[in-house]
Amino acid sequence: MSSFNILSVAGTDPSGGAGIQADLKAFSALGGYGMSVVTALVAQTTTGVAAVHRVPPEFITRQLDVLLQDVRADAVKIGMLGDTDVIAAVVGALDAYRPPHVVLDPVMVAKSGDRLLAADAIEAVRTELLPRADLITPNLPEAAELLGEPEAADTAAMEAQARRLLELGARRVLIKGGHQDTAQSTDLLVEPGAQARAFSAPRVPTGNTHGTGCTLSSAIAALLPQRDGCAAAVREAKDYLTGALRRADELDVGAGKGPVHHFHAWW
């Protein structure tokens, strides 16, 4: 295959650091041809979310249908969905078109603390989306909310929560430890019947972390069709994000938490 087409299904971020804008940058940086279906227009900056304009579910279905009837999607990354009707629209498209790789980043709350998923939609994520994703990438608060439990305090608790997410139907879980206060940032890849694999990197001393979750999940989605197995894609994506964090302070974007440097290898 000469090229790989990667689709982001998510909300926007006008500041360019998260959401679809971040996804498209990561896809391109890692050799994927980026495509997008917009689920919400978000008035957002580095300091927070000011407003969200939901895209009608029937128009999301229309976007997905016209795109996937024409263009092969080698992987799909799912980000902000917002509510149960949007989840149903995306589930319908996954069932109809069966993309070979689906990465679900269960976006619930922005780094600024603003809620991006309706509370009553969490059950739909659990029951409808988890079983249809090849990999889910929750951070510690997201994993806790999906399970209705306190946040994991250490790697043993992270693994236990990841295995409970497998019991809910997830095929693979990458539970991210970025919220822990440790010298190393450690993510755990947990698969059924296999020992958990840890992916660690030194924690980068920067306040410019806007969009790290979007960027990691989209990097994995871009790499899954190109690499031999999920672990290889996760390792390379983790290294890519670490590089983007190390160079984040070279950018001058906004007054709040700035974005990571998606194109750190080029400029």
* Whole-angstrom distance, CA of residue 63 vs CA of residue 92: 12
In the numeric block, the tokens 């095929």 are attached to 171
Query: What are the structure tokens assigned to 172, written together?
Result: 């693979």
Sheet holding 135-136, edge to edge: 48-54, 33-45, 5-11, 75-78, 102-104, 135-136, 173-176, 184-190, 197-202
Question: What does residue 144 show for φ and ψ, rounded to 5 degrees?
Answer: -65, -40
H-helix segments, 35-139:
57-68, 84-97, 122-124
* Whole-angstrom distance, CA of residue 240 vs CA of residue 199: 13
Q: Output the CA torsion sign for 38, 86, 117, 131.
A: negative
Q: Beta strand pairing status for 197-202 and 184-190?
A: antiparallel
Q: Looking at the annotation, which residues are catalytic? A: 176, 209, 211-214
